[in-house]
Amino acid sequence: MTGHIDARLAELGIELPTAAPPKVAKIEGWARHGDMLLISGAVPKWNGEVRYVGKVGREFSLEEGRAAARLSALNMIAQAREALDGDLDRIERILKLNGFVNAMPDFTEIPQVVNGASELFLDVFGEAGRHARTAVGVAVMPFDVAIEVEGTFIVR
């Protein structure tokens, strides 16, 4: 299905990864209730290949952390596309984004890392991409990935 958001992705030269269900946990990649679409934690992977394994502030710079956040957000959009039968135009608003950054204890630029996801949503969805957000640094992540993001979308 081709709509406004798909056209915007093409205009920006953005390709989405393949949406895949979580492999380890007994959960879904998304859940929907009424007009709310919740996207499970998305990690930086491209078509099943996990990327950005390690800590921001040790293995990865701030800019690399931002790229990992962006890739994780692309996986969120891919999950949303699956949940909405391919029609991303059904997204009315990105309501909330939570970002968890696997960082060294002295790395304090956690919000700037999560900006990689936030800025992607603004670029793709415009005003509908504005959202509330939490950004926290953590000591360890599943598979030692650099970041995980999750969010709540309002859809029709």
Site of tokens 């890392």: 113
- Each residue's pLDDT tens digit, 62-100: 999 999 999 999 999 999 999 999 999 999 999 999 999
CATH of 4-22+30-155, one of 3.60.15.10, 3.90.650.10, 3.40.630.30, 3.30.1330.40: 3.30.1330.40
Q: Where are the domains of the chain?
A: 4-22+30-155
Answer yes or no: is pLDDT of 2 > 90: no
pLDDT tier, 24 (very low <50, low <70, confident <90, very high otherwise) = confident
In the structure, what pLDDT confidence band is assigned to residue 26 with cuts at 50, 70 and 90? confident
How long a stretch of residues is the chain?
Answer: 156
Burial of 54 (0-12, 13-18, 19+ CB in 10 A): middle
**Amino acid 22: pLDDT:** 78
Confidence bin at 27 (pLDDT 50/70/90): confident
Sequential DSSP letters for 78-102: HHHHHHTTT-GGGEEEEEEEEEEEE
pLDDT attached to residue 1: 53
* Helix, strand, coil tally for the chain in percent (to 5): 35, 30, 35
